[in-house]
């Protein structure tokens, strides 16, 4: 095992971390700003992947499939917020958990009705399907680099929006003090709708870009939801910065855990979470 | 048929048959008479949704194809099916099997694809003493620890195809290999079978890679294989996981540099989806659709005509399940309660299968030939027999 | 304070008598099913102690249910012991121990955090049992001998017998109910109900709120272990999915559907949800769609659950309304 080996594994970890960030950032904002625990967030990831597969098949091009798919998910997000989540703002967390649990069942079955239960795969577009030779036997698939770059660009954009725009200011204010924002007379109804739809779109986009490398299967939403929850717990609720660091930490832990502890790979990320909790119960960037 | 509309003549017919049978057999006439007229109820507990849905459908359709070939009856009795989707969900396996037996009152259980579910079915079959025929699931325990006179398997044990590949790889001069599979019992068993014959022949396993079932994110492991540079790689994956693996193996640049060996489940039914990425993969299995024997040729044609789908190994197993039941029930004239007589007939059946003739071991698992196949031009070409008449060791079976 | 209104007490007694007599008329399939329902009833009651009385929303409760099942499997498959005399106490103790560790870490947090962390720890146990081939991996274990209750060589109760297991489960369910009802009237029970209503006030009154919560969490975990013991005995099968978060979600649905904070409600929830699933699952492939809509409908229109309905109806007909559930510690 030489350094190039660890380098490639680190690349794999970073790429996974970026994907996790896209899902977890939406989750953490919806917690932080809207005070909603949304278990159905992972479903958007699954819906994104299936949409991508379905549209790519019809259109014949992955990029166009993604471009066509994202607006659909935004609409779906707005619809779910307006007719479902809106009833939960004043309810106890318990009912939020149950309501979104019910949503998961519905999303899963709708997926089964519309697209079936089969595992599907999406072709990597021709221009990105080759590899960069790294050693004499191994090459690194270009598409994976592409995922990392796109996610990086999105993360940067998210950062700019949150830090530099008026909308971002409201979001930041909302995350730190929900009551204050309401008191300031900002149109909270609109803000909530935007945040929810944006979170859904980010999760779905993550599902779309990763569809060619992860393949598309029914349980994928649950899997990413749990890991994203771990990321949010580690990073601290409501913190974008926390979500980013948490995602990188968990992405790395998962990749290297699989390499060094083949029989205990599944529990590595939870062990990381437990350690962080012992040290800082509110997460890395959470407020007490 | 018209005489069945007349209750009088029907009754006299029953009495007549019953008396005739009583003379030649030891069964009680009343039970036999009832058995002769009532439909025989078969519970098909298979995956009709989910990843394995296509396997479940192929097994079912081939079973029905064979049933039509033998005249639509088993041992002279009409057949009624109760179909239940097992969803390949092990937690529901026992409750579903119990439902078929105690609520729907089926006479015979047939199923299933997923080993975990099949184990639950085997447990219920033992508890309720119902005949069970397993048309796919390869868990060793089904004809091992759980073996019973009333449990049969027409497919394979996971140990078999893995074991068959060991000598092949040694013959090809691959002295050290990396193995890779999902971290779940079927994976452990297939790799275990391989390990047994391969290390016995002097081969060395450099590393055993296990990944979370049913994850298909292979990248980190392919990186590791590239760093280890073994002579060859031996894997067990199936279905969509197999498609993804073959593509990723080529995508990581390993294809053509480190040869890939596998059990036949890697390539069966996926070759169209993977295209040229599968070229050159060598694998071992108890069937190939290109097998050159009359039964197979007839079967492949009939199956395609009936379903518009190509035949595969799963269809063969469903087909043979019906053949086995037909022979067994014929011998006892449809009396499903005949117990020992029925089971011993089935045990000694020589099934004339599309895969070639096979017999049953004392634990009721097929003793069959395993073929070495290689992917050439998008087809699995049979190179020869890897191991002849391979029998499962049936570890822990009390009937051996 | 926890109190059962007189009319619901009458309903409960009628139900208990019905359950006691059921095996004389029921078919073997339904005896099996009712045993499952009663085991889930115990499981749901244990979660009600957390959600309905302590105010702890745990989304990882299935972990303790599952761990106890694995203890049963371990005894039978790995140690060759079938005596429930060893099995049940160990199963409950191990569940309690897991609850102690997970609870100790989780109770440091509250609100959304608590929900997520209990969920994550349960998934960790799920991943552990799924990864280790020693524990049977994704397929879990089937075992072929069922537990029995024996002293020396005399077998007192053979739990492999469906009817015997039915009555043992019935007895355990009644015992759990009585135990929890008594517990809730004890000073400890009053204190945890005080925590649910107003945590700050309890702290100001000098209670160690964290310890109260932890004790409640451990007791609930142990009772979930009792349920897990029964379920493993009934099916002679364990699988990591028993402790997945879907299982935790399902039992939460039972508690809310039945009516949280009522103890008997969760049993009704287990009954209603299981019978619903048993009947519609064979009618329609996409029955989970109905299930999902049903769960959402309960949240929207029936937040008090079935028990809430019953209380409402009996209040109308009763002479004086039973005291509302405002807690006075």
| One-character DSSP codes across C199-257 | HHHHHHTT--HHHHHHHHHHHHHHHHHHHHHHHHHHHTEE-GGGGSHHHHHHHHHHHHH
Decide if A41 contacts A27 (C-beta within 8 A).
Answer: yes
Residue reference for tokens 């619809």: A79
Instruction: Name which residue leads in pLDDT, B284 or C325.
Output: B284
Residues ≥6 apart with Cβ < 8 Å to C36: B95, C231, C234, C274
Beta pairing class for C237-238 and B260-263: unpaired
pLDDT (tens digit per residue) in C143-187? 878 888 888 888 888 998 899 999 999 999 999 999 999 999 999
CB-CB neighbors (< 8 A) of B115 in chain C? 139
Please tell me which residue of chain B has the smallest CA distance to A138: B253
Residue A241 phi, psi dihedral angles, 5° rounding = -60, -45
Supply the pLDDT for residue C131. Answer: 83
Give yes or no for residue B27 having a pLDDT over 80.
Answer: no
Please tell me which residue of chain B has the smallest CA distance to A217: B51
Cβ <8 Å between C139 and B146: no
- Choose among B95, B99, B116: nearest Cβ to C139: B116
- Choose among B90, B91, B146: nearest Cβ to C144: B146
CB-CB neighbors (< 8 A) of C138 in chain B? 90, 116, 183-185, 213
CA B293 from chain centre, in angstroms, equals 20
Give yes or no for residue B87 having a pLDDT over 70.
Answer: yes
| pLDDT, average across residues B47-53 | 80
| pLDDT, average across residues B12-37 | 43
Q: How confident is the model at residue B52 (pLDDT cuts 50, 70, 90)?
A: confident
List, in sequence order, every beta strand (DSSP E) within A131-214: 131-133, 139-141
Helix (H) or strand (E) holding A183: helix A178-183
Residue C57 phi, psi dihedral angles, 5° rounding = -90, 95
Give yes or no for residue B13 having a pLDDT over 60.
Answer: no
Supply the pLDDT for residue A258. Answer: 81
Give yes or no for residue B367 having a pLDDT over 50.
Answer: yes
- Interface probe for B, chosen from A53, A118, A146, A264 (most Cβ of B below 10 Å), is A118
Sheet containing B40-46: order of strands: B73-74, B77-85, B40-46, B108-110, B131-134, B151-153
CATH number at residue B260: 3.40.50.2300
Question: How many whole angstroms separate alpha carbon A102 and alpha carbon B304?
Answer: 42
Question: To 10 degrees, what angle do helices A188-214 and A62-83 make?
Answer: 140
Give yes or no for residue C196 having a pLDDT over 50.
Answer: yes
- Whether residues B267 and B379 share a domain: the answer is yes
* SS3 (DSSP) at A219: coil
CB-CB neighbors (< 8 A) of A270 in chain C? 120-121, 123-124, 127
Instruction: Name which residue leads in pLDDT, B233 or C147.
Output: B233
CB-CB neighbors (< 8 A) of B241 in chain A? 119
Domain that holds residue B257: 159-285+372-390
Supply the pLDDT for residue B10. Answer: 39
Q: How confident is the model at residue B22 (pLDDT cuts 50, 70, 90)?
A: very low
Decide if C273 contacts C292 (C-beta within 8 A).
Answer: no
- Choose among A35, A237, A263: nearest Cβ to C113: A237
* SS3 (DSSP) at A280: coil
- Whether residues B91 and B201 share a domain: the answer is no
Give yes or no for residue B232 having a pLDDT over 70.
Answer: yes
Decide if B273 contacts B242 (C-beta within 8 A).
Answer: no
Decide if B74 contacts B67 (C-beta within 8 A).
Answer: yes
pLDDT mean across residues, chain C: 90
Pick out chain A residues at pLDDT < 50.
none
Domain chopping of chain A, boundaries: 3-218
List, in sequence order, the alpha helices (H) in B172-285. 185-200, 219-228, 239-251, 271-274
Give yes or no for residue C11 having a pLDDT over 90.
Answer: no
Decide if C318 contacts C7 (C-beta within 8 A).
Answer: yes
The dihedral sign for the CA sequence A254, A257, A259, A262: negative
List, in sequence order, the alpha helices (H) in chain B. 7-24, 29-37, 53-69, 90-98, 115-128, 159-171, 185-200, 219-228, 239-251, 271-274, 294-307, 313-331, 340-347
| pLDDT, average across residues C54-60 | 95
Task: Establish if B240 touches chain A: CB-CB under 8 angstroms.
Answer: yes
Give yes or no for residue B6 having a pLDDT over 50.
Answer: no
Give yes or no for residue B305 having a pLDDT over 60.
Answer: yes
Q: How confident is the model at residue B36 (pLDDT cuts 50, 70, 90)?
A: low
Report the neighbours of A using a cutoff of 3 or more CB pairs below 8 angstroms. B, C
Give yes or no for residue B262 having a pLDDT over 60.
Answer: yes
Q: Is residue B111 part of a domain?
A: yes
| Closest CA–CA distance from residue B372 to any residue of chain C (Å) | 29
Q: Which pair of structure tokens corresponds to residue B81? A: 């099916």
**Lowest mean pLDDT segment, chosen from A256-260, B186-190, B295-299:** A256-260
* CB-neighbour burial class of residue B198 (10 A; exposed 0-12, middle 13-18, buried 19+): buried
pLDDT (tens digit per residue) in C224-246? 999 999 999 999 999 999 999 99
| pLDDT, average across residues B56-77 | 95
Q: Is residue B22 part of a domain?
A: no
Cβ <8 Å between A226 and C119: yes
**Lowest mean pLDDT segment, chosen from B118-127, B256-265, B267-276:** B267-276
Supply the pLDDT for residue B238. Answer: 86
Helix (H) or strand (E) holding A107: helix A93-115
- Whether residues B243 and B386 share a domain: the answer is yes
Domains: count for chain B: 2
- Whether residues B170 and B136 share a domain: the answer is no
Decide if C148 contacts C159 (C-beta within 8 A).
Answer: yes
Q: How confident is the model at residue B268 (pLDDT cuts 50, 70, 90)?
A: confident
Q: Is residue B27 part of a domain?
A: no
Q: Is residue B13 part of a domain?
A: no
Supply the pLDDT for residue B274. Answer: 83
- Choose among A1, A121, A141: nearest Cβ to B251: A141
Residues 200-229 of B with CB under 8 A from A: 209-212, 214, 216-217, 219-224, 226-227, 229
Residues 121-140 of A with CB under 8 A from B: 121, 124, 129, 131, 133, 135-140
| Closest CA–CA distance from residue C323 to any residue of chain B (Å) | 42
* SS3 (DSSP) at C324: coil
Supply the pLDDT for residue A131. Answer: 82
Beta pairing class for C237-238 and C154-158: unpaired
Please tell me which residue of chain A has the smallest CA distance to B259: A137
Task: Please state whether A258 falls in left (phi above 0), alpha (psi between -120 and 50) or beta.
Answer: alpha
Beta pairing class for B131-134 and B151-153: parallel
Please tell me which residue of chain B has the smallest CA distance to C66: B91
Supply the pLDDT for residue B19. Answer: 40
Give yes or no for residue B89 having a pLDDT over 50.
Answer: yes
List, in sequence order, the alpha helices (H) in B70-150. 90-98, 115-128
**Lowest mean pLDDT segment, chosen from A55-64, C25-34, C310-319:** C310-319
Domain chopping of chain C, boundaries: 31-242
Supply the pLDDT for residue C177. Answer: 96
Give yes or no for residue C278 having a pLDDT over 80.
Answer: yes
* ipTM confidence: 0.88
Beta pairing class for A131-133 and A139-141: antiparallel
CB-CB neighbors (< 8 A) of A217 in chain B? 51, 214, 216, 240
């Amino acid at each position: 095992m030489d350094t190039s080996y660890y380098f490639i594994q680190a690349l794999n970890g970073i790429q996974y971390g970026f994907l996790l960030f896209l899902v977890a950032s939406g989750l953490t904002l919806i917690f932080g700003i809207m005070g909603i625990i949304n278990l159905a967030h992972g479903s958007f990831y699954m819906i994104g992947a299936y949409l991508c597969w379905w549209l790519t098949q019809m259109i014949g091009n992955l990029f166009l499939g993604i471009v066509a798919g994202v607006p659909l998910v935004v609409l779906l997000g707005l619809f779910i917020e307006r007719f479902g989540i809106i009833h939960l703002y004043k309810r106890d967390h318990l009912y939020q958990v149950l309501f979104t649990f019910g949503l998961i069942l519905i999303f899963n079955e709708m997926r089964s009705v519309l697209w079936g239960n089969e595992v599907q795969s999406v072709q990597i577009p021709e221009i990105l399907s080759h590899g960069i030779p790294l050693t004499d036997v191994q090459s690194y698939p270009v598409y994976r680099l592409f995922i990392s770059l796109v996610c990086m660009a999105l993360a940067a954009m998210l950062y700019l929006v949150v830090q530099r725009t008026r909308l971002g200011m409201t979001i930041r204010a909302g995350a730190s003090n929900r009551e204050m924002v309401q008191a300031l007379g900002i149109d909270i109804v609109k803000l909530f709708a935007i945040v929810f739809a944006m979170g859904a779109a980010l999760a779905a986009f993550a599902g779309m870009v990763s569809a060619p490398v992860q393949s598309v299967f029914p349980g994928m939403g649950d899997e990413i939801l749990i890991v994203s929850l771990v990321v949010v717990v580690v990073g601290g609720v409501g913190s974008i910065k926390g979500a980013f660091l948490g995602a990188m930490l968990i992405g790395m832990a998962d990749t290297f855990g699989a390499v060094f502890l083949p029989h205990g790979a599944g529990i590595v990320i939870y062990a990381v979470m437990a350690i962080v909790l012992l040290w800082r119960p509110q997460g890395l960037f959470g407020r007490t | 048929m018209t005489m069945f509309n007349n209750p009088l003549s029907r009754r006299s017919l029953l009495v007549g048959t019953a008396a005739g049978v009583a003379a030649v057999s030891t069964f009680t006439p009343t039970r036999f008479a009832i058995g002769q007229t009532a439909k025989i109820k078969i519970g098909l507990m298979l995956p009709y949704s989910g990843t394995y849905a296509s396997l479940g459908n192929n097994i079912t359709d081939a079973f029905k194809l064979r049933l039509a070939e033998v005249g639509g009856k088993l041992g002279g009795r009409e057949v009624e099916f109760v179909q239940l989707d097992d969803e390949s969900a092990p937690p529901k396996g026992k409750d579903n099997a119990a439902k078929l037996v105690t609520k729907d009152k089926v006479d015979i259980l047939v199923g299933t694809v997923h080993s975990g579910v099949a184990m639950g079915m085997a447990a219920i079959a033992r508890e309720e003493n119902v005949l069970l025929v397993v048309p796919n699931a390869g868990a060793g325990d089904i004809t091992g620890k759980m073996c019973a006179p009333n449990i049969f398997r027409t497919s394979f044990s996971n140990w078999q195809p893995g074991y068959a590949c060991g000598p092949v790889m040694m013959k090809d001069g691959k002295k050290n290999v990396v193995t890779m599979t999902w971290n779940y019992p079927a994976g452990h068993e297939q790799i275990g079978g391989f390990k047994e014959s391969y290390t016995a022949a002097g081969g060395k396993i450099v590393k055993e890679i296990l990944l979370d079932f049913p994850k298909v994110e292979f990248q980190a492991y392919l990186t590791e294989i590239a760093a280890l540079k073994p002579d060859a790689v031996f894997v067990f994956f199936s279905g969509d996981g197999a498609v993804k693996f073959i593509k990723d193996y080529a995508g990581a640049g390993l294809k053509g540099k480190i040869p890939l060996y596998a059990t036949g489940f890697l390539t069966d039914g996926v070759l169209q989806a993977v295209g040229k990425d599968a070229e050159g993969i060598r694998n071992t299995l108890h069937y190939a659709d290109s097998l050159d024997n009359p039964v197979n040729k007839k079967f492949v044609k009939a199956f395609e005509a009936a379903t518009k789908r190509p035949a595969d190994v799963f269809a063969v197993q469903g087909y043979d399940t019906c053949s086995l039941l037909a022979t067994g029930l014929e011998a006892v004239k449809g009396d499903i309660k005949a117990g020992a007589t029925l089971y011993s007939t089935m045990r000694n059946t020589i099934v004339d299968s599309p895969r070639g003739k096979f017999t049953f071991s004392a634990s009721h698992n097929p003793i069959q030939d395993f073929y070495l196949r290689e992917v050439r031009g998008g087809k699995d070409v049979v190179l020869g027999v890897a191991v002849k008449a391979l029998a499962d060791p049936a570890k822990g079976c009390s009937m051996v | 304070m926890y109190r059962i209104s007189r009319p619901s007490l009458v309903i409960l007694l009628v139900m208990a008598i019905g359950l006691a007599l059921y095996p004389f008329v029921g078919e073997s399939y339904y005896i099996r099913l009712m045993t499952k329902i009663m085991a889930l009833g115990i499981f749901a009651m244990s979660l009600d102690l957390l959600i309905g009385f302590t105010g702890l929303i745990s989304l990882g409760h299935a972990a303790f249910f599952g761990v106890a099942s694995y203890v049963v499997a371990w005894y039978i498959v790995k140690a060759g012991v079938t005596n429930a005399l060893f099995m049940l106490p160990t199963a409950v103790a191990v569940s309690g121990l897991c609850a102690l560790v997970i609870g100790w870490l989780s109770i440091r947090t509250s609100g959304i955090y608590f929900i997520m962390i209990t969920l994550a720890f349960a998934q960790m146990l799920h991943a552990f049992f799924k990864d280790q081939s020693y524990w049977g991996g994704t397929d879990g274990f089937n075992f072929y001998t069922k537990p029995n209750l024996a002293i020396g060589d005399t077998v007192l109760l053979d739990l492999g017998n469906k009817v015997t297991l039915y009555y043992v489960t019935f007895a355990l369910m009644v015992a759990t109910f009585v135990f929890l009802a008594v517990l809730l009237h004890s000073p400890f029970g009053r204190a945890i109900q005080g925590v649910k209503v107003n945590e700050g006030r309890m702290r100001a009154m000098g209670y160690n709120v964290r310890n109260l919560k932890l004790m409640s969490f451990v007791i609930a975990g142990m009772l979930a272990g009792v349920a897990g013991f029964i379920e493993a005995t009934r099916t002679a099968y364990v699988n990591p999915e028993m402790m997945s978060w879907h299982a935790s979600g399902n039992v939460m649905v039972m508690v809310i559907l039945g009516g949280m904070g009522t103890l008997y409600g969760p049993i009704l929830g287990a009954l209603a949800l299981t019978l619903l699933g048993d009947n519609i699952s064979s009618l329609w492939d996409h029955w989970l769609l109905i299930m999902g809509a049903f769960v959402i409908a309960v949240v929207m229109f029936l937040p008090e659950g079935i028990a809430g309905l019953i209380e409402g109806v009996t209040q109308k007909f009763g002479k004086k309304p039973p005291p509302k559930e405002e807690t006075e510690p």
